[in-house]
Chain A
Amino acid sequence: MDNIAGTKSGLMWTVHISVVVLVALWLFPTLGLLVSSFRTADQIASSGWWASMFPTEQSIQLRTAPPDAQVQEGALWVIEGNVFAVEGAEPTNAGEISAWGVSARDISAYQPGETADMEEDGRLTVEADGAYRLENDVEFEGRRGERVFVTATTPPEFTLDNYRNILGPDNREGMARAFFNTLTVTIPATVIPILIAAFAAYALAWMDFPGRALLIAAVVALLVVPLQLALIPLLKLHNDIGIGKGYLGTWLAHTGFGMPLAIYLLRNYMVGLPRDIIENAKVDGATDFQIFVRIILPLSFPALASFAIFQFLWTWNDLLVALVFLIDATGDTTVMTRQIVELLGTRGGNWEILATAAFVSIAVPLIVFFAMQKYLVRGLLAGSVK
C-alpha cells in the first residue's frame, strides 16, 4: 500500500513539474511582450526586456545644462548640476557612474571625480552620482550643453505611458465606441454559426440520408478556402443585393467562414455520443427535433463551448473581415483592432504600442475562456449514460 502511494505521489510530482516546464516554455515569449509593454520604444529597441528588470550597466549620452545656466564665480564661468537631471527637474532615475568621457573617440576616458580638460571648451568634473561642474575662463556660448558620455549602472525603469496612450482620455471615446462595435460584431458572429452548425452536425452525424459522406467531405474541403479569394466576389455580392458594408454583411461573412470548422468539430463530437441514448429516445417516440434539443445539445456542451471560444477569439481579433465588410469610408463603425492599428505610425515599428495593445485586447477573450471553461466539465456524459 505504501509502495503504491509512494509511486503515486512521485507521479504527481512528475506531472506537476512537467506542467510547470510546459507552461514556462509557452509563457516565456509572452512574458517578454508583457515586460515590453511597460517600456518606452527606445528602451525596447536598445536593450533586452529581461535586462530591464535588473539594474544594468549602460553607456548613455547625457548633456550638461545649456550655457544660459552659467554663473560667474570670480574670473571663472561655471555651470553646475547633475547630468541625470532632465531640464532643470530633480534628477530622476539616477545611476552610479563608473566611467565617463567627453568625446565620441573615447567614451570612458575618465573615472568619476576626475577632471577633463577640453581646452577652449573648459574643464569638466563629473562625480559618481552624476553631479558635475563645468568651468571656463571665458563665457560659454551656444545653445546646447556639452555632451557627456557616461557608463552608469541604472536602476530598472518602467512606464505606464503606453497604456495611457491606448486607454487614456485622448483615445478613450474612440476606444469605448470601438469596444461596443466589436461586441456587436462578435456576439452574433459567435452564436449564429454555432446554432446553425449544431443542427447541421446532428443531421450529418445521426440522420440517414443519401449523399451524407459526400457532404462531410465537402465541409472539409471548404475548410481550406483561402479567405483572400472570397473577399472580392462576396463584397460584390453584398453591394449588389444592397447590404453594402455593415453589420449584417459582417455577421454573414463570419458565419460563412466559421461554418466548416464548426460543423466538422461538432459532428465529430456528436458521432461519439452513445448510440443507446438516441435509440432509446426514438423508441420512446421522441422526434429528431426533441432528441436534438433535449439530449444532444446538453450533451454537446463541451464541444459547443470549445468552438464558441475559438469563434469568439477569431472574430474578436479579426481585422481583415472587418475592414472589408464592415468599415466603410466614413469610419464610423470602427472596431478595436482597427482603433489600435490607427495608433501605429504609417511605417509601423511602434512595438511598444503593439505590445500594450496585445494585452488590452487579450482581456476579453481570456474572460470568455474562463467563463466557458466550466462547461468543459468531466462526467456530464458519463453521468447520463448510467
Chain B
Amino acid sequence: MHPALQGLITIVLGVAGCVGYFYFSNQFLDKVLYPARGENAGRNINRANQIRPWLFLFPAIFVLGLYLAYPVVETLRLSLTDRVPGGGYEWVGFQNYAQMASEPKFWEAMRNNMLWLIVVPAFSTAFGLLAAQLTDRIVWGNIAKSLIFMPMAISFVGAAVIWKLVYDVRPIDQDQIGILNAILLGLGREEPVTFLTIPFWNNFFLMIVLIWIQTGFAMVILSAALRGIPEDTIEAALIDGAGPMQIFFKIKVPQIMGTIVVVWTTITIVVLKVFDIVFAMTNGQWETQVLANYMYDKLFRASDWGVGSAAAMIIMLLVTPILVWNVYNARKEMR
C-alpha cells in the first residue's frame, strides 16, 4: 500500500475513533445509563453530570499516566538505586543525591539554571508581547509574524549552524566567519572575542539563542489572546480619551494576564528542559553547564542512571513553586 494512502486511512481511523469515543460514551451516559426522563430524571441528570467530567478526561489521563507519570515513578525508583555489576539494581537510598551534591558541576548547573530561569522567560515573553501587539494592526503584520516565528520552525541542527555563523571566532589574521566578531573588529577592536568561552557571560550568549527561538512561541499565543479581547472594552477606553500606551498597559495587558502567565510558565519549563542548545554549543564547558545537560551527561556518557535520574528529580522539584501557584489559581477561578 502506498504510504500516503496508509497514512490517510490511519488519520481517518484515529480521528474517527476519538470522536466516536466522545460521542458514543456521552450518548450511552445520557440515553442508557442515566436517562434524563422518567421518575428519576432529576437524580439521573445529577449522576450523569458527576460522571461526565471523567468521560471527557479519561483519554487524556490515560495517556498522561502511561507516557509521563509512569516514567516519573520509574525515574524516582532509579534515582534511589544503583546498578550492580553483572545486572540488577540495589537500593542505595539517597546516596546518588549525596554524590551529586558533592560535585561542583552540579552546583554550577544549579546556578546557571537559576540565571536561565530568570532571563529567558522574561525576555521571550516581553519580546513576544511586543511583537504580538505591534504586528496586530499593521498591513504586513502577518508577514512580520511569520518572520519572527521562523526560528521556531527551523530544526535544531539548523539553529546550531545559524548561531555558529554568529559567534564563531577565527584567529585575528584570518577572515572571520562569525558576524559578531566581524562587526567588533570592524568597529576597531584589536582582538576577536571568543563569545562562548568567557565564563559567566557566555551563559547569556547561549540564552540569546533560546530567547530568539521562544519569542515566536510567546508571540503566537499572546497574539491569539490579544485578538480575543472584546472590542467594546477598547472602544470604551478610546471614548474616555485613553492613549495607546494606556490602552495597552491598562486595558489589554490585564485582560490577557492569564495568558501571559501561561506563556511565562511554559517557557520556564522549556528552560528547565533546555538541553540541545548547551549540548551542541558548549556541552556545559566553560562554566555553562545546565541541569538538563548534566542529566544527559550522566545518563548517556557516564551511563550512571542513578545520578542521572536524581538530576531529573531535581529538575522536577524546581517546578514545585509553579505547581503551588497553579493550584492556588485554579481554586480561585472555581469560586
Are A and B genuine complex partners? yes
Residues of A within 8 A of B (CB): 11-12, 15-16, 18-19, 22-23, 26-30, 32-33, 36, 44-51, 177, 180-181, 183-184, 187-188, 191-192, 195-197, 199-200, 202-204, 207-209, 212-230, 233-234, 237, 247, 251-253, 255-257, 259-261, 263-265, 268-269, 271-272, 287-289, 292, 302-303, 305-306, 309-310, 313, 317, 337, 340-341, 351, 354-355, 357-359, 361-362, 365-366, 369-370, 373, 376-382, 385
Task: Please state if B227 and A379 are interface contacts (CB–CB under 8 Å).
Answer: yes
Chain B interface residue bracket vs A: 35 or more
8 Å CB contact of B319 from A12, A202, A221: A221
Task: Please state if B63 and A32 are interface contacts (CB–CB under 8 Å).
Answer: no
Interface window among B50-58, B98-106, B108-116? B50-58
Task: Please state if A306 and B52 are interface contacts (CB–CB under 8 Å).
Answer: no
13 contacts between A and B (CB under 8 A): A184-B6, A191-B11, A192-B14, A208-B334, A220-B319, A223-B266, A223-B269, A224-B269, A230-B68, A256-B63, A257-B67, A268-B259, A361-B158
Bitwise, B296-318 to A at CB < 8 A (1) or not (0) is: 10011000000001001001100
In the complex, whether B230 has a CB less than 8 A from a CB of chain A is yes
Q: Assuming A199-B60, A224-B269, is B230 touching A188 (CB within 8 A)?
A: no
Q: Assuming A219-B64, A256-B67, A271-B333, is B153 touching A366 (CB within 8 A)?
A: yes
Task: Please state if A264 and B161 are interface contacts (CB–CB under 8 Å).
Answer: no
Contacts of A48 in B (CB 8 A): 175-179, 182
Contacts of B33 in A (CB 8 A): none
In the complex, whether B206 has a CB less than 8 A from a CB of chain A is no
8 Å CB contact of B3 from A23, A184, A253: A184
Task: Please state if B322 and A220 are interface contacts (CB–CB under 8 Å).
Answer: yes
Question: B149's closest neighbor in chain A, by CB?
Answer: A369
8 Å CB contact of A355 from B149, B158, B175: B158
Question: A272's closest neighbor in chain B, by CB?
Answer: B258
Distance in angstroms between the alpha carbons of A272 and B149 in the assembled complex: 25
Task: Please state if A385 and B138 are interface contacts (CB–CB under 8 Å).
Answer: no
Specify which of A196, A215, A224, A380 lies most central, judged by the most chain B CB atoms within 10 Å of its CB: A224
8 Å CB contact of A230 from B67, B145, B227: B67
Task: Please state if A15 and B64 are interface contacts (CB–CB under 8 Å).
Answer: no
Distance in angstroms between the alpha carbons of A180 and B26 in the assembled complex: 36
Q: Assuming A26-B148, A358-B155, is B67 touching A191 (CB within 8 A)?
A: no
8 Å CB contact of A216 from B4, B6, B327: B327
Task: Please state if A358 and B158 are interface contacts (CB–CB under 8 Å).
Answer: yes
Task: Please state if B296 and A33 are interface contacts (CB–CB under 8 Å).
Answer: no
Does more than half of chain B's interface fall in helix, strand or loop, or is it mixed?
A: helix
Distance in angstroms between the alpha carbons of A305 and B149 in the assembled complex: 14
Distance in angstroms between the alpha carbons of A53 and B178 in the assembled complex: 15
Contacts of B156 in A (CB 8 A): 317
Task: Please state if B162 and A234 are interface contacts (CB–CB under 8 Å).
Answer: no
Contacts of A51 in B (CB 8 A): 175
Task: Please state if A351 and B161 are interface contacts (CB–CB under 8 Å).
Answer: yes
Task: Please state if B224 and A200 are interface contacts (CB–CB under 8 Å).
Answer: no
Question: B27's closest neighbor in chain A, by CB?
Answer: A289
Contacts of B155 in A (CB 8 A): 317, 337, 357-358, 361-362
Task: Please state if A302 and B212 are interface contacts (CB–CB under 8 Å).
Answer: no
Interface hits, B1-50 → A, CB 8 Å: 2-4, 6-7, 10-11, 14-15, 18-19, 22-23, 26, 30, 49-50
Task: Please state if A228 and B295 are interface contacts (CB–CB under 8 Å).
Answer: yes
Task: Please state if B71 and A30 are interface contacts (CB–CB under 8 Å).
Answer: no
Bitwise, B94-137 to A at CB < 8 A (1) or not (0) is: 00000000000000000000000000000000010011001101
Distance in angstroms between the alpha carbons of A191 and B10 in the assembled complex: 12
Distance in angstroms between the alpha carbons of A257 and B63 in the assembled complex: 9
Interface window among B80-88, B195-203, B214-222? B214-222
Task: Please state if B75 and A229 are interface contacts (CB–CB under 8 Å).
Answer: yes
Distance in angstroms between the alpha carbons of A351 and B333 in the assembled complex: 51
Task: Please state if A180 and B64 are interface contacts (CB–CB under 8 Å).
Answer: no
For the complex of A and B, list the 9 residue pairs with the smallest distance between their C-beta atoms, beginning with the closest.
A256-B67, A358-B158, A184-B7, A200-B60, A203-B56, A230-B71, A302-B224, A213-B330, A378-B227
Q: Assuming A252-B67, A373-B145, A379-B231, is B7 touching A30 (CB within 8 A)?
A: no
Q: Assuming A188-B14, A230-B68, A313-B153, is B262 touching A207 (CB within 8 A)?
A: no
Contacts of B23 in A (CB 8 A): 289
Contacts of A207 in B (CB 8 A): 49, 52-53, 56
Question: B145's closest neighbor in chain A, by CB?
Answer: A373
A268 to chain B, nearest CB (A): 5
Task: Please state if B224 and A49 are interface contacts (CB–CB under 8 Å).
Answer: no
In the complex, whether B236 has a CB less than 8 A from a CB of chain A is no
Contacts of A305 in B (CB 8 A): 224
Distance in angstroms between the alpha carbons of A272 and B60 in the assembled complex: 21
